[in-house]
Chain A
């Protein structure tokens, strides 16, 4: 691998990891679509700040974007509070308005600037290694890489410092407020984090794919674990894997890297959705199947226990009569008996079924429960 190749992969991984951290909290707080709104409207902040400072890549652009990001959030909340529109409509009203303002400003005033619509929407990771961050005469690496590393560390630092507060405010807003942590402050802090991260990632993947980097890795991780620390770590890992594998897919297909990253994240999500050990579709289907058999076996033992020592025992507990007494189809009955025998719950004797000790205990436990 050549140096630019390694650098692109590093950038992809860092961008994805930086997005996954605040994204985790967005997913947990059911505010995923806020990232949609913010990632669109930060463009307005960038444009406005650009008019002030006159150059791209100035740190002030980041500030402008963060301010407009927060403005978006507060506008949405303001609209919500009027109760004249519902929350989803409030988001759907605010961000297209600010976003189209940004697009119009770009197409009218900044046509010649490197802020065109394609960069905005697709980003261009392929050329990222050629823009170097040179501070104090030292080449620190590609600019995007340096910026996103700083944002990643900042996000990490904030989450570690305010871990307890974030956790509490996320899972129990009421308690957080009662204990004196201001949920509003934490909320806006988080939104500021989302805005800054969105702007940073913007260069690399474009504004809409940022949403994918924020939402898909945490959603994938959430299918795999329930514990917040694992969730955060796993989100970062999923993001990084998606980033690096996306690069190779883009290389193979000769296509846009950001898009391929998102596609790979989609694939990872799909895999987790299907094959997650506890929550995947396959695992659930298997669980259901097992429950069905377990239930049938339990029914069988209870049936046997019920008639044990009774005069009708000989009649009720013949294998070929189960289909009448338990209303089971013949094949099903045969299979249940086989499984119960294999699990040592019953034994077969002259075409009759007898409970084993274990079977008796099993049935009794089931009845008591």
Chain B
């Protein structure tokens, strides 16, 4: 029985030790083990919320704003702790929210009232807030209070420390944010793609932008405990960037991003639970990054591999068309469309000299050309039909009787005259 279960298990080797991840046991733990269930649920919630809300951030070119907000949340977390003297997540969440918001305002003020550009403003807010956070964190660590021990978890996140109540809080806040997103979907969509049109319709563009930025802050903040301030920005950017490759529709993109986020959250939580001391944040981020890079490479239509395949196909098609065209024109000059011609002649006519013979063989396989001996090739009857469409500049009525007039007609028809 045990062996049968093992057959369904995954075997993998991590740091020299072989692990057998038993799918049945894993499923059992996911459903019934308190810690793993809580952690997986928590990271799934984070993935869903940050994925869906990150969609707008990525489309509005605010990816790095998410980065700045997540770093800047650190002093908020520490101050909230200093004020409340507890690690109650609600207080820390509010602290992080306020700090994230303040950072956003600082960025906007710097851009608005100086000649410094956005990148510099982001860098300043991010690093100075983080510096203040580090000062406060060190300061707090000097206080003789055992409960602060968990605060530096906020740097990299420790999903294993999530409690059921934390997850419920995250889920409630996340659900609020997602509901707002749903309610103002049309408006958010419009200001993301065409703010001028939105303004001309009389929509409160400013207020909506503020609302969207607040959503971004929320998306970042609810993940801080499990993923950490340093890597949380990736949870906003990567799922959305991955989802963007699979679709051109906004709602599909948001759903896909939420899905990717959830998948990486759960997988990351499971993987990091296999070894103590492995922070959850980096694992989740590595997984979602792999999904993102995978999507950029392999997503249908937009993916790089697909683009490359399409490019090759187009090139092949163009080469084949050129050869067919040349054969047809030559045959037409001889008064016989199926007149065979030497490869050398075709080569001389073709820009892509090396590939002509190969192209002729490919065309032969398609039944469009045939080899007629002596290094000469001719169009088949089907080939003539196809090639005629490629050479609209010449037609049967203008077929010449001798080569010279054919050249004359062909030369003339190349002129940009109306037909």
A236-267 vs B, CB cutoff 8 Å, 1 = contact: the mask equals: 00000000000000100111101111110110
A318 to B288, CA, bound (A): 76
User: Given A88-B62, A89-B63, do A82 and B296 touch, yes or no (CB 8 Å)?
Assistant: yes
B108-137 vs A, CB cutoff 8 Å, 1 = contact: the mask equals: 001001111101101110111011111111
Asked whether A32 lies within 8 Å of B134 as measured between CB atoms, the reply is no
> How near does chain B come to A32, taking the closest CB pair, in angstroms?
4
A159 at the interface (CB under 8 A from B): no
Asked whether A215 lies within 8 Å of B277 as measured between CB atoms, the reply is no
> How near does chain B come to A251, taking the closest CB pair, in angstroms?
12
B403 at the interface (CB under 8 A from A): no
Asked whether A266 lies within 8 Å of B131 as measured between CB atoms, the reply is yes
Interface residues of A in 55-111 (CB under 8 A from B): 79, 82, 84-86, 88-89, 91-93, 96-97, 99-101, 103-104, 107-109, 111
User: Given A122-B138, A261-B131, A262-B131, do A33 and B279 touch, yes or no (CB 8 Å)?
Assistant: no
Asked whether B231 lies within 8 Å of A255 as measured between CB atoms, the reply is no
The residue that A258 contacts in the complex, of B123, B134, B152, with Cβ under 8 A, is: B134
Residues on B facing A (Cβ under 8 Å): 15, 58, 61-64, 66-67, 71, 110, 113-117, 119-120, 122-124, 126-128, 130-139, 142, 152, 155-156, 230-231, 233-234, 236-238, 240-241, 244-245, 275, 277-279, 281-283, 285-286, 289-290, 292-293, 296, 302-304
A111 to B278, CA, bound (A): 10
Chain A residue at minimum C-beta to C-beta distance from B71: A208
Q: Which residues of A contact B245 (CB under 8 A)?
A: 84
A209 to B281, CA, bound (A): 20
Asked whether A84 lies within 8 Å of B296 as measured between CB atoms, the reply is yes
Chain A residue at minimum C-beta to C-beta distance from B276: A107
Q: Which residues of B contact A254 (CB under 8 A)?
A: 139, 142
> How near does chain B come to A96, taking the closest CB pair, in angstroms?
3
| Majority SS at the chain B contact face | helix
A-B contacts besides A255-B142, A259-B134, 17 pairs, CB < 8 Å: A27-B120, A40-B230, A84-B244, A84-B302, A89-B58, A89-B63, A96-B234, A101-B286, A107-B282, A109-B15, A121-B155, A122-B134, A211-B123, A254-B142, A259-B135, A260-B131, A262-B130
A30 at the interface (CB under 8 A from B): yes
Asked whether A86 lies within 8 Å of B61 as measured between CB atoms, the reply is yes
Residues on A facing B (Cβ under 8 Å): 27, 30-33, 35-36, 40, 79, 82, 84-86, 88-89, 91-93, 96-97, 99-101, 103-104, 107-109, 111, 117-118, 121-122, 206, 208-209, 211-212, 214-216, 219, 222-223, 250, 253-256, 258-263, 265-266, 269, 273, 279, 281, 284
Q: Which residues of A contact B142 (CB under 8 A)?
A: 254-255
Closest 5 CB pairs of A and B: A262-B131, A212-B127, A96-B234, A100-B282, A259-B134
Asked whether B127 lies within 8 Å of A208 as measured between CB atoms, the reply is yes
> How near does chain B come to A255, taking the closest CB pair, in angstroms?
4
Asked whether A108 lies within 8 Å of B275 as measured between CB atoms, the reply is yes
Q: Which residues of B contact A212 (CB under 8 A)?
A: 123-124, 127-128, 130-131
Q: Which residues of B contact A250 (CB under 8 A)?
A: 135
Asked whether B231 lies within 8 Å of A215 as measured between CB atoms, the reply is no
Q: Which residues of A contact B282 (CB under 8 A)?
A: 99-101, 103-104, 107
User: Given A96-B233, A223-B114, do A88 and B64 touch, yes or no (CB 8 Å)?
Assistant: yes
A35 to B67, CA, bound (A): 13
> How near does chain B come to A119, taking the closest CB pair, in angstroms?
12
> How near does chain B come to A328, taking the closest CB pair, in angstroms?
29
User: Given A85-B244, A92-B237, do A209 and B289 touch, yes or no (CB 8 Å)?
Assistant: no
Q: Which residues of B contact A99 (CB under 8 A)?
A: 230-231, 282, 285
Sample of 13 A–B contacts (CB below 8 Å): A30-B119, A84-B245, A85-B241, A86-B58, A92-B236, A92-B237, A93-B237, A108-B275, A206-B134, A212-B131, A216-B127, A263-B131, A263-B135
Q: Which residues of B contact A122 (CB under 8 A)?
A: 134, 138
Q: Which residues of B contact A121 (CB under 8 A)?
A: 134, 155, 230
Asked whether B234 lies within 8 Å of A97 as measured between CB atoms, the reply is yes
Chain B residue at minimum C-beta to C-beta distance from A260: B135
Q: Which residues of A contact B133 (CB under 8 A)?
A: 259
A266 to B102, CA, bound (A): 14
User: Given A104-B278, A104-B283, do A93 and B238 touch, yes or no (CB 8 Å)?
Assistant: yes
User: Given A91-B64, A108-B15, A263-B131, do A215 and B120 touch, yes or no (CB 8 Å)?
Assistant: yes
Asked whether A89 lies within 8 Å of B237 as measured between CB atoms, the reply is yes
Asked whether B134 lies within 8 Å of A266 as measured between CB atoms, the reply is no
A23 to B281, CA, bound (A): 29
User: Given A97-B285, A273-B114, do A92 and B134 touch, yes or no (CB 8 Å)?
Assistant: no
Interface centre among B67, B119, B244 (most CB of A within 10 A): B119
Asked whether B277 lies within 8 Å of A111 as measured between CB atoms, the reply is yes
Q: Which residues of A contact B230 (CB under 8 A)?
A: 40, 99, 121, 208
> How near does chain A come to B119, taking the closest CB pair, in angstroms?
4
Asked whether B110 lies within 8 Å of A100 as measured between CB atoms, the reply is no
Asked whether B119 lies within 8 Å of A31 as measured between CB atoms, the reply is yes
> How near does chain B come to A191, taking the closest CB pair, in angstroms?
15
Asked whether A284 lies within 8 Å of B231 as measured between CB atoms, the reply is no
Q: Which residues of B contact A32 (CB under 8 A)?
A: 117, 119-120, 122-123
Asked whether B119 lies within 8 Å of A93 as measured between CB atoms, the reply is no
Chain B residue at minimum C-beta to C-beta distance from A89: B63
User: Given A33-B64, A97-B289, do A118 and B296 touch, yes or no (CB 8 Å)?
Assistant: no
Q: Which residues of B contact A85 (CB under 8 A)?
A: 58, 241, 244, 296
Q: Which residues of B contact A260 (CB under 8 A)?
A: 131, 135
Q: Which residues of B contact A222 (CB under 8 A)?
A: 115-116
Asked whether B130 lies within 8 Å of A208 as measured between CB atoms, the reply is yes
A261 to B61, CA, bound (A): 31
Q: Which residues of A contact B15 (CB under 8 A)?
A: 108-109
Chain A residue at minimum C-beta to C-beta distance from B232: A96
Q: Which residues of A contact B234 (CB under 8 A)?
A: 92-93, 96-97, 100
Asked whether B127 lies within 8 Å of A92 as measured between CB atoms, the reply is no
The residue that A33 contacts in the complex, of B123, B135, B278, B302, with Cβ under 8 A, is: B123
The residue that A219 contacts in the complex, of B63, B113, B124, with Cβ under 8 A, is: B124
A36 to B152, CA, bound (A): 21
> How near does chain B come to A249, taking the closest CB pair, in angstroms?
8
Asked whether A255 lies within 8 Å of B131 as measured between CB atoms, the reply is no
Asked whether A255 lies within 8 Å of B138 as measured between CB atoms, the reply is yes
Q: Which residues of B contact A101 (CB under 8 A)?
A: 282, 286
A33 to B237, CA, bound (A): 15
Asked whether A88 lies within 8 Å of B63 as measured between CB atoms, the reply is yes
Q: Which residues of A contact B135 (CB under 8 A)?
A: 250, 253, 255-256, 259-260, 263
A111 to B66, CA, bound (A): 30
